[in-house]
Amino acid sequence: MSVSSWPERARELADSVLFPAADSVDVDGEIPSSHFDILAAEGFYGLASDRGEPLGPDELPLVVETLCAGCLATTFTWMQHNGVVMSLTHTSNTSLRTRYLDGVIDGSIKAGVAFAGAIPRPPKLYARRTDTGYVLDGHAPFVTGWGIVDILQVSARDEFDDSIVHLVIPATDAAGIEVERLTLIAVDASNTVRLLFDGVEVDDSQVVSVVTDEEFQSGQIYGSYLNGCMAMGVARRAITQMDDIGTDTSSFRRSHSQRRAAFDDALAGTYDMFAARAEASELAMRAAAALVTATGSGAIVGHGTPERLVREATFTLVGAGRPQIKAELLRTLQGDPAGRSGRWPSDEEWR
């Protein structure tokens, strides 16, 4: 597979495999294992590694956005895996890398993340240093893929020096871990749970890295872009559906291009990432609402794509959010700040 074909292959998978089953996934609350199998077979589980064909930094967000437009539940579960691939690729723990890296790259080992407990102040999940490792206490509030993934990268804040400890543990029931299943407004098939840790001992052999708070926060910027791809993907699908029923979407496509440019500017340091995230979710809400309107009464009967996209757009308002994004969203929802970045790419850039 050549570099330039990654976004093209993502589009093919989204349109031919993921999207045709997306409504059924939503209704049944279960993602077919074949979805993950084909993502693995096509190399998508190894995208974030430094092996094989390189992937440009501007291509990964496009791939994620395109797959989100196919099936958000599947992609939301899969996209957590990329962070673990990057962590294992760069870890100094050679035994941990040897144990897991090949498997996570080829998709035979599927991974998830649990970092939300380390973000707030005070944190929700603490790590206490011992002679041989760490003890975890607290909870990880939002862990996706439980029962689907094999391993979990858990992030906790050291209660003494404020560093962030990243550890890899099996994603299974264990002593000291309590699992609470969460029912979500959308992507419920992602098997998202809350994990409660009560004196869970983790050996040093399972530590991926220990970083400063500053290093941890700086690493969240690109992750915010990728999380914003959920909203961009929902908007993309809503726009495509409106195109299919003959609705004029030129204004929506321009807005979509502007939002994408805002993310690029945010990575370059010339735009605010929290504003970009907020504006993407606002667009997803407007596009999904417009699709319902354009579809007519059929959109409110039973379970269908327009209704699902409205719920998924709502999910992006708070999914993987931060207090700063919430503040920007509340401001944005009071009035469209279109043109804030001063860039309006052509319609061709959206495609």
115 and 97 in a common domain: no
User: What is the CATH classification number for the domain harbouring 132?
Assistant: 2.40.110.10
Residue 19 and residue 25: Cα distance in Å, rounded? Answer: 10
Outline where the chain has alpha helix (H): 5-13, 19-28, 33-41, 59-70, 72-90, 94-106, 213-218, 220-244, 250-267, 273-295, 305-318, 323-332, 347-350
Distances (CA, A) of 130 to 117, 152, 158, 202, 212: 20, 21, 11, 9, 19
In this structure, the chain runs to a length of: 351
Mean pLDDT of 327-340: 71
Residue 1 and residue 12 in contact, taking contact as beta carbons nearer than 8 Å: no
- Identify residue 240 by its one-letter amino acid code: T
d(CA 104, CA 100): 6
Res 331: pLDDT? 87
| Judgement on whether residues 95 and 125 belong to the same structural domain of the protein | no
- What six digits make up the tokens of 55? 């992937």
Same domain, residue pair 118 and 41: no
d(CA 255, CA 93): 44
Residue 253 and residue 180 in one domain: no
The domain spanning residue 306 has which CATH number?
1.20.140.10
Asked if 147 and 238 sit in the same domain, the reply is: no
Judge whether residue 57 has pLDDT over 70.
Answer: no
293 & 275 share domain: yes
Confidence of residue 334 (pLDDT cuts 50, 70, 90): confident
Question: Is this model's pTM higher than 0.85 or not?
Answer: yes
Task: Inform me whether the pLDDT recorded for 17 exceeds 90.
Answer: yes
What's residue 164's pLDDT? 96
Nearest partner of 96 among 206, 13, 20, judged by Cα: 206
Same domain membership, residue 153 and residue 52: no
Backbone φ and ψ for 144, nearest 5 degrees, come out as -95, 140
**Confidence (pLDDT) at 299:** 93
Q: Which of 89, 106, 123 is the last residue of a domain?
A: 106
CA distance 93 to 80: 21
Average confidence (pLDDT) over 189-208: 98
Q: Across all residues in the chain, what is the average pLDDT?
A: 91
Count of the separate structural domains present in the chain? 3
3-state secondary structure of 177: strand
Same domain? For 55 and 131 the reply is no
Residue 41: which pLDDT band, with cuts at 50, 70 and 90? very high
Least confident of 45-54, 72-81, 307-316: 45-54
Are 71 and 145 in the same domain? Answer: no
CATH of the domain at 29: 1.10.540.10
Domain ends where: 106, 121, 140? 106
Task: List all residues 6 or more positions away from 205 whose beta carbon is below 8 Å from its beta carbon.
Answer: 93, 95, 96, 133
What confidence tier does 256 reach under pLDDT thresholds 50, 70, 90? very high
**The tokens 């999380």 sit on which residue?**
227
Q: Which of 45, 74, 106 is the last residue of a domain?
A: 106
Say whether pLDDT at 4 is over 80.
no
- What is the residue-wise DSSP string for 214-225? HHHHHTHHHHHH
- The pLDDT confidence band at residue 335, using thresholds 50, 70 and 90, is confident
> What's the confidence (pLDDT) of residue 347?
44
Same domain as 336, residue 247: yes
Residues 6+ apart with CB under 8 A from 18: 35, 67, 70, 71, 74, 75
What number is the average pLDDT over the span 89-116? 96
Listed in sequence order, the residues at least 6 apart from 330 whose beta carbon sits closer than 8 Å to its beta carbon are none
pLDDT for 340 beyond 60:
no
Q: Are 272 and 297 members of one domain? A: yes
pLDDT, position 143: 96
Question: How many other CB atoms sit within 10 Å of the CB of residue 206?
Answer: 20
Token output for 273 = 């990432």
- The percent of residues in the chain predicted with pLDDT above 70, rounded, is 93
Greatest mean pLDDT range, 142-156, 208-222, 264-278: 142-156
Structural domain including 297 reads 219-350
Q: Which of 33-47, 118-132, 263-277, 331-345 has the lowest mean pLDDT?
A: 331-345
For the ranges 124-138, 271-285, 322-336, the lowest mean pLDDT is seen at 322-336
Task: Kindly state the average pLDDT of the residues 262-268.
Answer: 92
Same domain, 235 and 267: yes
